[in-house]
Amino acid sequence: MSEQKLQKVLLVFDFDHTLIDENSDEYVTRLAPGGQLPEEIKNLYEEDGWTDYMAEIFRYLHKNGCTPDSMLSFMSNIPLTQGIKELLDVTSANESFDHIIISDSNSMFIQHLLQVLGLTSVINEVFTNPAEFDEKGCLTIKRYHTQDWCTLSTVNLCKGHILKTFIEKKESEGVAYGHIIYVGDGYNDLCPGLTLRPQDALMPRVGFKLLKLIERMANKNKPVKRSELKATVVPWETGLDILKHIKSLGY
């Protein structure tokens, strides 16, 4: 007879425009001289090279006098998205909930903001691109991994793979998730959404790319069909909408 697993609920958050109400990578570019990146830096961006692009931005900011203290102090002004504090106050007080972040931002920004916002003890694990300040004070960033198996994701981060690996690890530790609630906003949140089951929820933020993408998936010429998405789709505007869905599950 198999050992019974501990039944829990997993809340999975993207970071930018989800937990926080800004894109942290775009926000930091305001530290550039005049608040704007020069065209020669902007032109370095390639669709599949976000981490390399951000590394160039960090080098440019450092060259123009941006220090670790000035960067992190500036980032501290980013607010939580409306209603997220109320949501996390409820779920973090309930032992049935685990919370993780899967984000294409970087570890320095996320860990700093979690500390500033008082959420370090709430989030169980963070999966993102590793970053640190080097000996000269320049922020350096690396890819989380380099993947070639998912065409829906960038080469440096497949959120679906990360989510599946995390769930398998927890199952091996005796934890099973009766419900998974994935909260996001962008194109790269579709891949993990496709890994969800009928009892799970994919929650795209209203007015952002993920919801628009899901709405367009009804078009049979799209590479991903709407029928491939098994989870319930629950759009949200504030964290209170997420909390409302959780309460509808009986928690």
Distance CA 235, CA 138 (A): 39
Residue 154, CB-side half-sphere exposure with 13 Å CA sphere: 22
What is the number of other CB atoms lying within 10 angstroms of the CB of residue 78?
20
> Which residues contribute to the annotated binding site for Mg(2+)?
14, 16, 185
Distance CA 163, CA 101 (A): 10
> Which residues contribute to the annotated binding site?
14, 16, 25, 104, 185
Three-state DSSP state, 118: coil
Residue in the structure block whose two tokens are 């220090």: 67
Catalytic residues: 14, 16
Main-chain dihedrals φ then ψ at residue 8, nearest 5 degrees: -140, 175
Q: Can you spell out the DSSP letters for 179-225?
A: EEEEEE-SGGGHHHHHT--TTSEEEEBTTSHHHHHHHHTTSTTSSS-
Distance CA 189, CA 201 (A): 12
